[in-house]
Structure 1
């Protein structure tokens, strides 16, 4: 078609598109919306892939996948249970340093664009389960923590420190159990890969009626800490701690689990080659159980990309994403922008 006919084609296409939309009911619209978005992403991938080349190829950064809408009703949590969780947090604070790192534990700053400006000198580990932003402010006021570091010793030239947490925050856990999983875990088995302090397990025991919560933790010190807390707060009826590498207990993923939770579990603790090996293992085992739910913080797409893997290739035929409503007014107090960004780290997927 000649260039002069392009505007007419565009206008005709717009009219036709609007006509299609007007004929769809609500459920049909959501299905069509998903299709259109996927089609556009695929087209953009092809266009960018063709640029400067003589043929089409897949844009591996684009992930085309089946999706579905979030379902389920909000599950309230009593003040008594929140107070009980608060006591567990207070107890843990007395047992671990502010960084919540185990003795002789070695973490690493990922070599990726996201963490390009992070270094051992300008990065502080503060556990998000144990300390809220208000808690961090209080620690700074008391001189126990600083938000800045000196760029030039003895000068006033300072820069903000980078804060990293290896645990989900209480708000993220509330969103996870009260909204994302809501009525999906009654009598089900939840497996937390890299359970660390046990935040996912304790909150799951308090907030849900899951039949069993299994924490898999490779670090012996953390495993013992979790077991001590489980014993002290009498949660052994439904919580089990396994001190092993997840790759040594494949049956947990392929047979026992109904829900698998992974909070950025490998990126700061393993070299890229090991991360890639574990992710491929997780895919190979979880794909054996269609309907299994995967919860990741942050998104699975982001974690795979950070591990140097093609999210498009690995997720194809494995999972579909469940679109979550982050701004549904779920809690009594309106969430501010930072808090909404916080819960947006939580993502849900279903094995095909």
Structure 2
């Protein structure tokens, strides 16, 4: 039986009727559950199986940000190893902080932009990933491996750009340590930001991002710079929104890590929205930056409203986005 499609107007009408039939106390959980099931698992296999023909998908597909992100993720998977770590990268094991237990033999790198939970389960079932390790070889004394990601998930990007931030028209978005480019693509499909800039110190990752940006016709607003962030003072000062997804501790020494934060403290302009994962309080707890957060940032008011009430952590037990923090530079 062929699918029957309805218009957007009719879909909104039917959805409103369905919402009206649900009790107020259950509405938030209902919308959240629908979102979590659909956001990264759109039925677009026909597109994903033929991502090289992106140009032929048609304008309707290009207007679907979720489908576009899913397609990009599928494309990037084909260009990187399973752990999404390139041979030219120098991944370090943090010696301080909450990730100090991420020892090489205990840590599995799984990029959340490329692989959601269902993908991971499939990889485990196929034997391509392991969740546990044997503490005494040959025995049943096992423990869990540590899974870590160096990218934000597609759900994270939706949460940040589609549901948390105000309009970004005429604004500049900066991603520090852009790696595979996930934040850049998310900002492109979900916002009207005039400039979206990624700063990445690994040349091979820059080439990958530029290739994707070119292929998906995003060059009008996205640019990728092959630099260390300390070499991009002018870009830092220009940015209205800065995303920092833990790009330092796995890549630089503790002393360099401190110096980068001191550099950012000096050059990020007032009223910039700073989005970090994890929270600055978590990062600075074990890092002697000599920066007093209360003199630098304040919590950014997300302005929760009825349209995105299901993300309000006071109304739901969902903790999916608890590690993402929003600040405003003061």
Q: TM-score range by the shorter chain?
A: 0.7 to 0.9
Structure 1 residue 236: deviation in Å? 0.3
**CA distance in structure 2 between the partners assigned to 1:330 and 1:320 by the alignment:** 20
Is the partner of 1:167 in helix, strand or coil?
Answer: coil
Residues 274-285 of structure 1: matches in 2 within 5 Å?
A: 274-285=256-267
2:303 equivalent to 1:303 = no
Which residue number in structure 2 is paired with residue 293 of structure 1?
273
Residues 85-234 of structure 1: matches in 2 within 5 Å?
A: 85-112=69-96, 114-183=98-167, 185-234=168-217
Equivalent residue in structure 2 for 1:328, among 282, 288, 309: 309
Which residue number in structure 2 is paired with residue 341 of structure 1?
319
**CA distance in structure 2 between the partners assigned to 1:113 and 1:238 by the alignment:** 36
Structure 1 residue 349: deviation in Å? 1.1
Q: Which structure would you say has the larger RCO, counting Cα contacts within 8 Å and 6 or more residues apart?
A: 1
**Against the structure 1 CA distance between its residues 263 and 243, is the aligned structure 2 distance closer, same or farther, given a 3 Å change threshold?**
same
Residues 68-87 of structure 1: matches in 2 within 5 Å?
A: 80-87=64-71
Structure 1 residue 323: deviation in Å? 4.8
Figure out how many residues of one structure are paired with residues of the other and give that number: 265
2:228 equivalent to 1:258 = no
**CA distance in structure 2 between the partners assigned to 1:156 and 1:336 by the alignment:** 38
> For 1:155-204, what per-residue CA distance to the aligned partner results, in whole angstroms no more than 9, with x for missing partners?
33321110010111111111100122142x12211011100000000011
**CA distance in structure 2 between the partners assigned to 1:273 and 1:294 by the alignment:** 22
RMSD (CA atoms): 2.3
Which residue number in structure 1 is paired with residue 31 of structure 2?
none
**Against the structure 1 CA distance between its residues 99 and 226, is the aligned structure 2 distance closer, same or farther, given a 3 Å change threshold?**
same
Say whether the 8 Å CA contact 1:267–1:306 is kept in structure 2.
no
2:302 equivalent to 1:317 = no
Larger radius of gyration: 1
Structure 1 residue 116: deviation in Å? 4.6
Q: TM-score, structure 1 length as denominator? A: 0.71
Say whether the 8 Å CA contact 2:300–2:327 is kept in structure 1.
yes
